[in-house]
Amino acid sequence: GAVVSQHPSWVICKSGTSVKIECRSLDFQATTMFWYRQFPKQSLMLMATSNEGSKATYEQGVEKDKFLINHASLTLSTLTVTSAHPEDSSFYICSASRGQGGQGTQYFGPGTRLLVL
């Protein structure tokens, strides 16, 4: 159990276009989902925390108008990179929290590689 899927696994787009990434918890309900960005050979950087039915909470320095997050249901969160630019190229990972409060173990999706040309 505790499987999280992410789609697409990789995407190449032109500068100025928008890209949507989906994150789904397949066998459990996740009240909280997270979006991370990871640069090569570095740790995960939390971008935002997404709660079902409410606005996402963004980390300091993350542009909320650029990285739109929607948590429409207990099993689906989406990240839209708007007007993507080459500097947005990265590896994006979502996770879903199972459990309440500080007991919430996070289960991660397989990640999405984004390349903006």
Partner 1 sequence: AQTVTQSQPEMSVQEAETVTLSCTYDTSESNYYLFWYKQPPSRQMILVIRQEAYKQQNATENRFSVNFQKAAKSFSLKISDSQLGDTAMYFCALITSGTYKYIFGTGTRLKVLA
Residues found near partner 1 in the complex (CB under 8 A): 32, 34, 38, 41-44, 46, 49, 91, 93, 95, 97, 101-108, 110-111
Give me the least distance between CB of 104 and partner 1, in Å please: 6
CB 79 within 8 A of CB 69: yes
Closer to partner 1 by Cβ: residue 16 or 55: 55
The nearer residue to partner 1, 82 or 104, going by C-beta atoms, is: 104
Instruction: Find all residues with CB under 8 Å of 60, minimum gap 6, and list them.
Output: none
Smaller CB distance to partner 1: residue 42 or 54? 42
Question: Is residue 90 a contact partner of residue 81, using CB atoms and an 8 Å limit?
Answer: no
- Identify the three-state secondary structure at position 27: coil
